[in-house]
Structure formats: structure tokens, C-alpha cells
Amino acid sequence: MHSPKTLSKIAGLTLVTVAVFGTACERPAPLSSPLTGLSLDAVAAGAPYSVIGDCAQATIIDPGSVSNSDGMLIQRGTVFDCPLTGDIEGVARVVLNLTLRNVGTPQVEGRVFGETILLVTKFFGRTDLNGTFEGPFSASLEEVRFGTANTRRHGTGDFSGMVLQGVAVQNPPGSGTEVETGRIVGREEP
């Protein structure tokens, strides 16, 4: 069983490193998307999207494991859910792995990698669709900080064949709020 100190360290690291959702974005998410009510094919034709994962409100499902080796903090298999808002609403389920050096200092560096699954409850205002967007992520902390962490998520269910291509960043840094903006790449051929 993990001690409360270890669990609080995992939660803190989670907030620092789950910046795999977005890009620095000065505008708030639209209250009502101009794409509301359009067919999926119309939305899939290169439409922009923006999603915000509030990982400061994350629910930890599995704390995974944390170890230290040669001055590096290694975290594997942490699973958590973050509320998701914006053009796509629902829950972002993240399976997080990380390797960090200089933890607890301004010079912290390392990599975050794993998988994100967007469990969709509302897609551009539509609540009649079922499916997910899933994809792996792998980025350095520097890429996350400076908005160059690329994302690519493939749709399932009603979103089958659709791909979200975006850029992720934690905005503001250290907040636990992850913003991802990008374009929906049309339906892929089967």
C-alpha cells in the first residue's frame, strides 16, 4: 500500500506532468460551437477543436508505482480521470508514465509518456454520439511547457475514422489545466 506522502507526491507529479492535452491558448473555450448540429462528415472536414482537461480535479484510479534510481524519479502506470470541457466534453482518462531528473527544483527535466482516452459525452454540442478518441503520447517536459507536444488521437464508435491532431500544453504552467487545440482530420479510409 502507498503511504500518504507517496500518494501526495504522485498527485503533485501528476499535476506537473499530465500536460499532454493542449497548447497555450489565450481565448476561452466557446460556449456554443459554430459546428453544433452539423453532420459528423462536415465536422471531420478539417474543423478546428479545443479541449480543456482540468487535471487539478483529477480522480486517481490507480496510483501506479513510484521508485527512485540513480537520482531519477520513475513513475509507471498511474491512471487518472480529468473532467474534459470545450468542443469535446466528457472525461480524459490518462495512463501516465514518467521519468524525471532534478525533481523539486526549477531545473526538473524528463519525459512523460503513456496513453490518453477521451471518453466523449458531448461532441460539438451533440449528445447523441458514442465513442472515444484514443492515442499514445510521448513528450519531454520542455515540449509540454512550450506548446510543442504533438498529439494524435484516433476515433472509435461513432467517431471511427476521425483523427484529432493537436498540440498540448499546461496553461498556465503548474496549474493542472491542460489545453489541447488542433484540427480534426477527416475520416480515414477503412
Which whole number is the average pLDDT over 17-36?
A: 37
pLDDT value at residue 17 = 39
> By the 8 A CB rule, do 25 and 181 touch?
yes
Which whole number is the average pLDDT over 147-156?
A: 91
Which whole number is the average pLDDT over 33-54?
A: 71
| Predicted TM-score (pTM) of this structure | 0.75
pLDDT value at residue 1 = 43
Q: Retrieve residue 27's grid coordinates.
A: 481565448
- Residue that has been written with the C-alpha cell 498529439 in this structure: 151
pLDDT value at residue 96 = 94
* Residue 175 DSSP one-character state: S
What are the pLDDT digits (tens) for 104-146?
Answer: 888 889 999 999 999 999 999 999 999 999 999 999 988 877 7
Angle at CA of residue 22, ends 18 and 28, nearest 5°? 125
- pLDDT grade for 175, boundaries at 50, 70 and 90: confident
Instruction: Report the range of poorest mean pLDDT among 5-9, 48-52, 87-91, 136-140.
Output: 5-9
Cis-peptide into 190, omega within 30 deg: no
> By the 8 A CB rule, do 177 and 165 touch?
no
- pLDDT grade for 42, boundaries at 50, 70 and 90: low
- Residue that has been written with the C-alpha cell 498556465 in this structure: 172
* Residue 3 DSSP one-character state: -
pLDDT value at residue 4 = 43
**How many percent of the chain have pLDDT more than 70?**
73
What are the pLDDT digits (tens) for 53-101?
Answer: 998 889 999 999 999 988 899 999 999 999 999 999 999 999 999 999 9
Bridge partners, residue 84, by sequence: 53, 90
- pLDDT grade for 147, boundaries at 50, 70 and 90: confident
- pLDDT grade for 32, boundaries at 50, 70 and 90: very low
> By the 8 A CB rule, do 58 and 82 touch?
yes
- Residue that has been written with the C-alpha cell 499532454 in this structure: 20
